[in-house]
Structure formats: C-alpha cells, structure tokens
Chains A and B, each alone.
Chain A
C-alpha cells in the first residue's frame, strides 16, 4: 500500500512514568501531498503534542511518524512550523527574524541574497514597510504574519500550523486566512493545521480530523470536506448547500461525541487503523433531494438562483 506524504502510525505520548495515562494513544492518520488537513479537538486533548511530534520537537512514547517513507527523528527544514505563540525572536527586527530563517536554510547565500529573498516574503504577507520594526512594535496580527512569512520563506515541503489565527480579531483573522489559502494553493503546500474554530476548519481544510477528549484521546473519524476549494469563500460560506450539514456534524462532535466517544464505540466497529471517512456534506444534499428540510431548501434555492 502506498503511504501518504505524512503518515502517523500508532502514535502515543505519555508524560512522566508509564503509570500515567497517555495523553493520546494509537493514533493513525495520513496527510496526502498537497492536502490541507485540520485537526480539531478540545483544549488540552493533545493537539499541540501531536504537532510537536510531527515537527520532530518531541518524541512519541510509542509509534512513529513516517514522512516521505522515512521515519522522522528530529526537526527538519522540510517541515516549517508556525507556533501557537508566534515565537518571534524579540531582539531581531522583522527582516532579522526572517533572514535568520533564510540563512539557516541556505547557509551559503550572501547577505544581499538572503535579504532579497526575505523581502519577497515580507511583501507576500503584506508587511512591506515594517521590515525594520521589532516584534514589540507590531500588532498581534502583524506578528502572526511574520511567523507565517518566516515559515514560508524557507520553502518547506509541508507546513505545520498550531492555531495560527486564534489570537486575532475576526477581521484580521479573515484576511490572514484568505492569504494563507491563496499561498497554499499557489505553492500546492501540504498543510497540517490545528484549530478550535469549526468555521475556520470548513473554510480551509480538505479533511478534518476529529480528536476526542483526553486523557487517552483518540481520533474519532475523519470528515471529508466535500465543498470544493473554489466554492469556499469566507463571506458566503454559510450560503453553501453543504455548509450547515458539515458544521452541525463538527459541532455535534465537539459538544457531545468528543466527551462520550468511548461509550459510542463500546459496541465495537471502531478500528483506529481504519478510520471512517465521513462526508456529512453529501448526506445533506441527498437528504435534501428526498425530503427537503426547510432550512436547507431556502439555502439551496438561494444558491441556485
């Protein structure tokens, strides 16, 4: 069987001695090349811990992550990380922060080449003119952009993002989401992103991985976002015929199923190695065709006109 670009195989992580319950256990999923995958779950369930293992910053207690058919055993420039806190170096300017990454990626480049390259990515995230500013002089949204520019500037094979937009106001978040979406589409990036935000997941992700509450967290299932990328627009996302079905499925999971998932699978049929791929978006369309509920009808007709 061919492996996806990133393949998470039997991952478990426990902190402290083996008597402690694992944060998560027996985690299996994959990220295909060029795919945008979101991991969604409640605070403290172990999302950042999984990302740290993917980044090579942390080691799993069991299992492995295979990237490009090689087991990862440490951080790599191929996997750029956008951290939950922006993690800029406060003594360096915007240019300094990005140039540090660029010159780490290409140590032989001379200063002007490094700066030219860095400048391109500063402009890409719309920070032209702020090159000389220190992180403390930037707003939260600008800092996050620098973090994104730094990650993109090393032209990685994949991006790992830990709630990159959660600390931002709605307007800035929307703008940055659009930018990231555009950049990822242009460069066909493979992305693994953590989020709390259901709408953000529907807007950005091709697949949404649902994680149950810890300790002993599991991946419940994988939701396929059946809304095509070119039909997802932030401002009229809610008008898409599939939107409410997908959204309701995700919210239902976060509100009820994430807590009671162990009871749900008590009857059997759950195999962590062969997760169910669910497509709530398509369900709604079929249902709507047979027995149209009021809400969906107005939405679909509104769309068709």
Chain B
C-alpha cells in the first residue's frame, strides 16, 4: 500500500486506466441503440450519412464493441490486397510511412548541409534569411498544386510536400546549432591546426547534434501530420486515402481504427527520434 502511494507512475497508470474506462463507458451509453427514437437528424446531414443513419434504428456511430471487432479484424489481417481500393490497413500505413521517411530523408540531406553553411557564414545567413522567412510559414499543402503540375505524379508530389514541410525545422535548427557552437571549442580545434572538414565532423557536428536532432523530431512530427492531409488530396494509397475512402463508405469504425493507428505510429516515430537525440546529447 505504501509502495503504491509512493509510486507516482503506478498511480498515474491507474488514473489513465480509469479515464479510459470512463470514456469507453460514456461512448457505450451514447451509442447504445434506442429502438424507434433515433437521434433527430438535420435532414441535410442525414442525406449525407445515408440510409443507415436516416433509418434511425441504429446510430451511425459504432459502439466500442464494434470498434473492438473492427480493430481485431484489421490486426489479424493487416496486409491483404483485394483490388486497388481495398487494401489492408497495414499496407496503407506502410505507404504513408514510406513517403514520410523518404521525404524526411531527402529533406535531411538538403537541410543539414545547407544549415551548416548558413550557420557558419553570416553572409549566407543574411542572403537566405528572407527566403526562409517567407517560405517557412506557408502551409505545405499549398505546394501541392504546383507539385502536381510540375511533377505530374501524385505519389512523388506527396513526397515533395513532405520534403517541403520537414525541411524548415531541420534547416533552422541546424543553422542555429552550428552558429552557437561554443567559441572555445572552435579555438581548441584552431590551436590544434585541425582542417575545416575535420573541424566540421569532429567538433561542430557533435556540438550541434542535439539541436539538429530536436529539429528532426519537430520535422518528423509535422511530416506525419501532413501526410494524412496530402493523401486525402491526391488519393490512391496511404492511410490518409484510407480515412477518406472509409468516410465515403461511412465506416466510422474503420476511421476510428485508423485514427488510433495514426496516433500510435506518430508516437513511435517521435519516440524513435527522441531515442536518437538522447544518443547524441552530452551533458556539459
């Protein structure tokens, strides 16, 4: 008992469990079909939702049990392919993840060296600053039409959109990290007559690595947010397309499943980068 009272983790875990149970119970009560007295729907909305809701016998909102079965169904067979519009949720997630990782990797390839340059040279910093300031706040989706027009390929266009949205945090953080490397560390390298490349890789890169990793963590978070919207726009494959498709099928249970999985994958990406960041962080 004393151990329980002392362990914050244990108590927080129990509270989380209680909140979860509460939500599920509320949900269950709210979605339990009440024969005959269906929710009074706005006719426009009812038309949109289609027959199931309009009939009023059953809410379009699935019960927690429905969701449970749907999740189970997806989990036991995540990678099936039954035609171009009916692929397992695992496959759709893999498409999205692939695009995000590819766009992110390309962005890192551009942002880290360019950030190095900006951080080392006040001239280049000043010259590029107006471009960065104007382009950074633009929603990445605003690039989509331009990308579709020039690239003429929806898959590559969505990778480009990921690239564009992940490039800024990495670029800015790299430049900042490089510019704020302690003068005395650089002086150590200078008194040892270390050449510019060795200084870049042995002193500046490790010194700026924690800041760069923070930028990468922000980037991958944004990229995972953006990919869902991008795939809703371009269609075809991916978890964003899946969500949109299930909306058209009015399968709320599938949508909720997708939401949970998107959250979990986002969490995993974030934790993965947090782990990498811890590897390169040094205490001073």
Contacts and interface: CB of A to CB of B under 8 A. Distances in A.
Contact of A80 (B191, B203, B209, B282): B191
A75 interface: yes
B204 to A, nearest CB: 11
Contacts of B209: 91
- Nearest 9 Cβ contacts at the A-B interface: A104-B192, A91-B282, A136-B283, A87-B184, A75-B191, A75-B190, A90-B282, A91-B206, A81-B191
A105 B184 contact: no
Contacts of A79: 191
Contacts of A100: 192, 202
B27 interface: no
B162 to A, nearest CB: 31
Given A87-B184, A104-B194, 19 more contacts: A55-B187, A56-B190, A75-B190, A75-B191, A75-B192, A75-B193, A76-B193, A81-B187, A83-B184, A83-B188, A87-B188, A89-B203, A90-B282, A91-B209, A100-B202, A105-B192, A136-B283, A136-B284, A154-B192
A167 interface: no
Contacts of B212: none
A36 B283 CA distance: 36
Contact of B187 (A87, A91, A105, A136): A87
A80 B187 CA distance: 11
Contacts of B202: 100
Interface string A80-122: 1101010101111000000011001100000000000000000
Nearest to B194: A104
Interface of A: 55-57, 74-77, 79-81, 83, 85, 87, 89-92, 100-101, 104-105, 134, 136, 154
26 contacts: A57-B187, A57-B190, A57-B191, A74-B190, A76-B191, A76-B193, A77-B192, A80-B191, A81-B187, A83-B184, A83-B187, A83-B188, A87-B184, A87-B185, A87-B188, A89-B188, A89-B206, A90-B282, A91-B206, A91-B207, A91-B209, A91-B282, A100-B192, A105-B192, A134-B282, A136-B283
Nearest to B209: A91
Nearest to B202: A100
A65 to B, nearest CB: 15
Given A91-B207, A91-B282, A77 B187 contact: no
A75 B193 CA distance: 7
A74 B206 CA distance: 25
A90 B184 CA distance: 12
Interface in B185-217: 185, 187-188, 190-194, 198, 202-203, 206-207, 209
Contacts of A55: 187, 191
A30 B267 CA distance: 64
Contacts of B187: 55, 57, 81, 83, 87
Interface of B: 184-185, 187-188, 190-194, 198, 202-203, 206-207, 209, 280, 282-284
Nearest to A78: B193
A93 to B, nearest CB: 11
A75 B188 CA distance: 10
A81 B192 CA distance: 9
A136 B192 contact: no
Contact of B284 (A74, A90, A92): A90
Nearest to B184: A87
Nearest to B210: A91
Contacts of B191: 55-57, 75-77, 79-81
Nearest to A137: B283
B193 A77 contact: yes
Contacts of A104: 192-194, 198
B145 to A, nearest CB: 45
A270 B283 CA distance: 51
Nearest to A151: B191
B260 to A, nearest CB: 39
Contacts of B193: 75-77, 104
A101 B284 contact: no
B51 to A, nearest CB: 64
A76 B185 CA distance: 16
Nearest to B281: A91
A87 B190 CA distance: 12
Contact of B283 (A75, A85, A90): A90
A157 B206 CA distance: 30
A86 to B, nearest CB: 9
Contacts of B198: 104
Contacts of A74: 190
A134 B194 CA distance: 22
Contacts of B206: 89, 91-92
Contacts of A105: 192
Contacts of B194: 104
With most chain A CB atoms within 10 A of its CB, the pick from B193, B203, B207, B209 is: B193
With most chain B CB atoms within 10 A of its CB, the pick from A75, A77, A80, A92 is: A75
A134 B192 CA distance: 20
Nearest to A74: B190
With most chain B CB atoms within 10 A of its CB, the pick from A55, A104, A134, A154 is: A104
Contacts of A136: 282-284
Contacts of A83: 184, 187-188
Contacts of A81: 187, 191
Contacts of B282: 90-91, 134, 136
